[in-house]
Amino acid sequence: MRILELSQLAEKLDQFFHLVIWEKKDGFEVVAIVAEEVQDAFPLPMEVQAAAAANGMFLDATTAAKLQIENMPADFWEDLDEVIYGEFLKVSRLGQSGRKYLEIFCAVNSGQNFDRSSLNDLGLSEADLLRVARWLREQSIFDHRSGDLIMEILTQLH
């Protein structure tokens, strides 16, 4: 499925970019840029920001600013869906393998008031939840004060 804003962005670019996005209920977020290797999307290259601004749009890279993309687990990159938008833009959309990490990260990061319905839509298995919990712990993404909330979210999804 093509995203209108990305089609408009592609029309304004004059050099090639490969973006990795995370589609959410309320839009999308840029989480990485692929050049020679995968890189954090924060900060976005000035050329991409300028092309977006020329279309009156803001490209969200909030989650990329909070995570180090190079520390994502290997299965994060599984089942990417690639779409070519003209001559200068390729977009890879995260599949469920990557989305599970970001959805749970955002749920914990947002606290008790996060709308968890998007988590339920993922239909995560016990093995998926275990992988996410292991990643959160190994990367020390949250301090010990978030432990109860993490357990609440993971238990609710099981």
Segment 82-99, tens digit of pLDDT = 999 999 999 999 999 999
Q: Which two tokens stand for residue 48?
A: 């991409």
- Quick one: how many helices (H) and strands (E) in the chain? 7, 5
pLDDT at residue 114 tops 80: no
Confidence (pLDDT) at 95: 94
Where is the domain boundary, 51, 78, 94?
94
Q: If you average pLDDT over residues 61-74, what whole number do you get?
A: 91
- Write the pLDDT tens digit of every residue in 8-67: 999 999 999 999 999 988 899 999 999 989 999 999 999 999 999 999 999 999 999 999
Are 90 and 113 part of one and the same domain? no
Are 85 and 107 part of one and the same domain? no
What is the domain range of residue 90? 4-94
Are 148 and 90 part of one and the same domain? no
Strands in 1-157 per DSSP E: 17-24, 27-34, 38-40, 81-85, 89-93
pLDDT at residue 123 tops 80: yes
Are 103 and 89 part of one and the same domain? no
Looking at the structure of the chain, the number of domains it has is 2
**How many whole angstroms from its chain centre is CA 58?**
16
Are 77 and 103 part of one and the same domain? no
Q: Which two tokens stand for residue 153?
A: 């979210």
Confidence (pLDDT) at 138: 83
Confidence (pLDDT) at 143: 74
Rounded Cα gap, residues 98 and 74, in angstroms: 9
Are 110 and 74 part of one and the same domain? no
The model carries a pTM of 0.89
